[in-house]
Amino acid sequence: QVPLVESGGGLVQAGGSLRLSCATSGLTFAGYHMGWFRQAPGKDRALVAAISYGGGRTYYADSVKGRFTVSRDKVKNTVYLQMLNLKPEDTAVYYCAAEGTGGSFYYTQWTQYDYWGQGTQVTVSS
């Protein structure tokens, strides 16, 4: 029933790295702008990174710029979020989202996206 499935989360120490994956068998990602959101306990769901359907444009929140990289593999129909130099404040549930009808390749409001996964937990210890 869930169109998107995130994986790759886990527990890492501060300064470590992690790569998240977003996959689906029900959608072809090539036709969608893709975004990564995260939500920490008691916090709002916030956009972390986004990539256009063609992969030519990317967006990063200031808090992760220079540390995170979003990419997509059309052959594998998979979207990735590579996270380097993780910090305790990166601890959150990370969600993959797909948007196919808007005029922008990213939105800061999660309600603007059409499809979501169930999330994957990322915990950074220090």
pLDDT of residue 72: 95
Query: What pLDDT score does 2 carry?
Result: 64
Q: Taking a C-beta distance cutoff of 8 angstroms, is the pair 72, 29 a contact?
A: yes
In three-state secondary structure terms, 87 is coil
Mean pLDDT by 10 residues, the chain (126 residues): 87 98 84 95 96 94 98 93 98 96 89 94 96
| CA 21, 106, 53, 59 torsion-angle sign | negative
Token readout for 72 is 């997509």
Give the pLDDT score at 54.
86
